[in-house]
Chains A and B, each alone.
Chain A
Amino acid sequence: MILWSDRLRQSTPLRLTFILMAVFLVSILLSFAVAFVVLRNSVDESLRNQLAQQFASLLLIDDQTDLTERITQQAATADPVMQIVRYVPDAGPDITNLPGFVVAPDFGIIDGTSINAPDAATSYLATTTRVGAGRLTLAFARDQISELREVFWTVFILSPLITLISAGGIGLWIARTARDRVEAIRTTLNTLTEGDLSARVPASDHRPDDLTQIGLAVNRMAASQEATLASLQQVSADIAHDLKTPIQRVSVLLERLDNQGPLLDTQRDTVAAARMETEQIVRTFHSLLQIAQIEGGAAHDMFSPVDLAAIAATLTEVYEATAEDTGHVLTFSSSGPAIIPGEKNLLGQVVANLIENSLRHSARGSRIGVEVLGTPGSATLIVRDTGPGIPEAERGNVLRRLYRLERSRTTEGNGLGLSLVAAIVDLHGATLTLGDNNPGLLVEVTFPRADQPDK
Chain B
Amino acid sequence: METIEQLRDRLVAAFPAPDAVTLVTNPGPAAQHSLLLAHAQAREIARFLRDDPALRLDFCSNVSGIDWPDKEVTETVNITTPDPAGGPAKITEQKTKRLQPGHLEVVYHLYSMTLKTTAPVVLRLRTANRDDSVTVPSLTPVWRSCEFQEREIFDLFGVRFEGHPDLRRILMWDEFEDHPMRKDYVSPDDYEWEPTPHDDVLTRAKTHYPAAATSPAATSPAAAAPATAAPADTAAAPVTAAAAAPAAAATPNPEAAK
Is the pairing of A and B real?
no
